[in-house]
Structure 1
Amino acid sequence: MSGADAGGAPGRGGLRTRDDGGRRLVHDPVRRRWVALTPEERVRQELLLDLVALGYPVGLLAVEKGLAYRGLSWRADVVAYGRDGRARLLAECKAPGVAIGQKTFDQLARYNAVLDAPALVVDNGAARYCCVRDGAGWRFVDALPAFGEGESR
């Protein structure tokens, strides 16, 4: 994103970026720190902006949330929680140009075996797929659910 000053002013799209010794950094409002602005991080930060615009409180979002599944440690890119403390949305972000395929959905399913979120998102900046629990199955939807949608489960 261009347009951010060294003080971290919002750039185009609302991301706060700055240069630090030749490295481009972005301020992560969830982790409350500056992180390297990699292509995948840009996708993650843009998703966070969209979630906040849909009413998700920053305090109920987690980034790179550690999970244990079948004795292995994993990190979910973004988890949005409801006010009840339950995971409401789980997202996996990939860098632009990284194809979204079955492996990505399988990765998300592993994470969701732990979190049991009713909304799943895969995003690579060029394509964003969102599905929501629909009875015993899943249904793809055109947009991210707003905060509080589907809270009664």
Structure 2
Amino acid sequence: MQKLNLPDCDLRIKSEEGNQFVFDIIRKKYLVLTPEEWVRQHFVHLMINHLKYPKSLISVENGLKYFKNQKRSDIVLKNRQGGNFLLIECKAPDVKLGRNTLTQISQYNKQLQAAYIAMTNGLQHYIWEYQAKLGSYTQLKEFPTFPTKS
């Protein structure tokens, strides 16, 4: 798999019948190793090991309804009160991040109401803070620290 613009991490990878699988430390199971899963797993490890986000508050690929369509959010970090703190959309490294991805994650956030949204393809990473009173987003230069107080 392609080298990413993320810290190296110790992913558990296995091969079976010509396919590669990666262990998801959140869902506690092996998943088919696709380029998007490669990015998602690296980002989960970044969140836990470098940003110090609590593993217990991270969910991966949870379902959500957008209008009448069933969708899946890539990564959601909850706050300690159970609200959505950070929503991350992951793409494969060869997928260009642009207006379509931003529109997608913004639409998901209409349902989830996370304080922050982000998108990554493993090479580029963008983060925004949702300004609820204004109904708009402000782009940030770095990921927020997780609130330590309950």
Asked whether 1:133 is paired with 2:130, we answer yes
Asked whether 1:110 is paired with 2:107, we answer yes
User: What is the rounded CA distance, in whole Å, between the counterparts of 2:143 and 2:38 in structure 1?
Assistant: 18
Could you tell which deviates more after superposition, 66-75 or 130-139? 130-139
The residue type paired with residue 109 of structure 2 is: N
User: What is the rounded CA distance, in whole Å, between the counterparts of 1:42 and 1:144 in structure 2?
Assistant: 20
Q: 1:87 aligns with which of 84, 88, 92?
A: 84
Match of 2:5 in 1: none
Q: Runs of 5+ in structure 2 lacking a partner?
A: 2-7
RMSD: 1.8
Residue-by-residue CA offset, 1:117-153 (whole Å, 9 max, x unaligned):
011110001111111124523221222222227x89x
Residue-by-residue CA offset, 1:85-121 (whole Å, 9 max, x unaligned):
0010001110011111111111101110011001111
Asked whether 1:13 is paired with 2:9, we answer yes
Count of aligned pairs: 141
Q: State percent identity of aligned pairs.
A: 35
TM-score, normalised to structure 2's length? 0.86
User: What is the rounded CA distance, in whole Å, between the counterparts of 1:59 and 1:75 in structure 2?
Assistant: 19
Name the structure, 1 or 2, with higher relative contact order (CA <8 Å, separation 6+): 2
Q: 1:98 aligns with which of 92, 95, 99?
A: 95
TM-score, normalised to structure 1's length? 0.85
Q: Runs of 5+ in structure 1 lacking a partner?
A: 2-11
Match of 2:66 in 1: 69
User: What is the rounded CA distance, in whole Å, between the counterparts of 1:113 and 1:133 in structure 2?
Assistant: 11
The residue type paired with residue 113 of structure 2 is: D
User: What is the rounded CA distance, in whole Å, between the counterparts of 2:46 and 2:141 in structure 1?
Assistant: 14
Could you tell which deviates more after superposition, 13-22 or 28-37? 13-22
